Structure 1
């Protein structure tokens, strides 16, 4: 099967762990011919390149160039997977289905399940009703990342119920297994227990909330420290605010910023940590949350994005109310004082990750859905 993944802003470095790369990679591993269609980032970008067996085709950053390429090559395409619901998705789907009626058109949605632009003017109002009329005719499958996202879509587009499936994001467990073979697993120290955060150091990620909570607990649990992994230059003003906060709370020796680190170093930090904390104020479908689950960490995360679904509403990790400092302190204290609870939740998290958030299994399900749709076209 020839599969095209349509993601105009695709970047090999940014999306390496995310679905725009992982879905094509695992479809390729299942034996399909896979291409990613994207815009050129600059004039020096090659028109075509190949990474891990997948061909990346880049066209000039213009919708007409993209549509022309799809129309020209549609007869050689069996399935298109397009990301998000916008004019590119809409026109690409129509163009493809007009040229190849038996081709399969799939839309991959983001966590919030939104694929119609909010109606703020006549143009967007037109777009809304245009999509209402056309989506049922040219869309074969809509993928959302959580049951909550599916419910949000169905409130507005109830007639698409039979076309919407839930397939979450995941981690590439095969890659992690290979990386771990080349890494000497560090031993945890009972004298220095670690609470780990991974992500850009920006207000949306709520690092200040973690620091404030830790400052209330560090005297009670003096053997704990906080390690923060992520881009400290993403928001210099926020970083200065955090530095002042740390100094005012007199915990400078117990909060360590590691900055950006490589994949192997990140794996080592996961192994060293006792607790993983994700105190985000807003979040999509957090990949790092699933990574923490894979490494069997006891997790405490805010109730934003897909965390309720990912952590099975508190069964595979503790969940606190967004921006509620007292709730975060309470949940962290539960984990910091109980080895037994940390081990129990870490085991639950790992088991759930392997069962539900493993890219190999996720893409096998997607492949099965696409094959069934193709078979249904063949018998018509």
Structure 2
């Protein structure tokens, strides 16, 4: 259902921008004219989110799994904790670090306790954007297990830090994470597939390194703030040119 004011806007705007093609398709199905909807990916500060071994947080060891997510059900952290519990017998030195907060936190803490992995799951709470890079850099893999997602900025942040990403196939995530190249994409809500993908990367440092390097290059090409600004500028120029005529 599209509210009437939004439907009017979709029909009458000189230009609309969509952060992924998935979002663009939603706008088109809601009635936006195809010519007016432009794809402009979200941007990330890739000078801040960059690889730097000396800038990594050393506390969590070589097999740290990192997720920067709000702790709400649609972000899928429950599935990540369940996958982590399945991986612990195979990777006893693995650690799970969660940055973010939300009303689901008490339930997730209880889940980790019930699954016997609470000692190896760290809930950081809210972390300022400027303080995130050391966690990404320390990670063997970054995970985005969302049930719903428009873009997935943490995927671009991780890629900027040369960290491979395991992401669900929710929303626009498969447009950000290139499956088999910069990470692995799995069906949303599939704990077995999620655990297998994370395990594949934890088990193969060379694959992690290769995917991480490819991710950095993809992020620079598509998700850097400068590229995003250029695309927005072009949208404004195109609209201005039409108005002048």
- TM-score of the pair, normalised by structure 2: 0.87
**Aligned match of 1:251:** 117
Mark the CA change 1:216 to 1:367 in structure 2 (over 3 Å): closer, same or farther: same
User: Partner of 1:172: helix, strand, or coil?
Assistant: coil
Deviations 1:177-224 (A, max 9, x none): 7x999x951376895420001122222222221111111111211221
Match of 2:96 among 202, 220, 226: 226
CA distance in 2, matches of 1:155, 1:283: 18
Mark the CA change 1:180 to 1:263 in structure 2 (over 3 Å): closer, same or farther: farther
- Give 1:135 deviation, angstroms: 5.6
Residue correspondence of structure 1 range 94-113 to structure 2 within 5 A: none
Match of 1:370 among 224, 236, 243: 236
Whether contact under 8 Å (2:10, 2:27) holds in the other structure is no
Whether contact under 8 Å (1:308, 1:314) holds in the other structure is no
CA distance in 2, matches of 1:361, 1:192: 33
**Aligned match of 1:216:** 86
Counterpart check, 1:262 vs 2:135 = no
Whether contact under 8 Å (1:188, 1:271) holds in the other structure is no
**Aligned match of 2:155:** 289
Residue correspondence of structure 1 range 1-380 to structure 2 within 5 A: 116-117=2-3, 124=4, 131=8, 138-155=12-29, 157=31, 160-174=33-47, 176=48, 185-186=55-56, 192-231=62-101, 234-235=102-103, 238-378=104-244, 380=245
Whether contact under 8 Å (2:163, 2:215) holds in the other structure is yes
Indicate the structure (1 or 2) with the bigger Cα radius of gyration: 1
CA distance in 1, matches of 2:60, 2:69: 25
Runs of 5+ unmatched residues, structure 2 = none
Mark the CA change 1:241 to 1:366 in structure 2 (over 3 Å): closer, same or farther: closer
User: Partner of 2:44: helix, strand, or coil?
Assistant: coil
Higher RCO (C-alpha under 8 Å, 6+ residues apart): 2
The two structures, once aligned, show a CA RMSD in angstroms of 2.8
- Give 1:265 deviation, angstroms: 3.1
Deviations 1:229-275 (A, max 9, x none): 112xx21xx33332332223222221111222334431111111111
CA distance in 1, matches of 2:10, 2:96: 48
Number of paired residues?
245
CA distance in 2, matches of 1:187, 1:197: 14
- TM-score of the pair, normalised by structure 1: 0.58
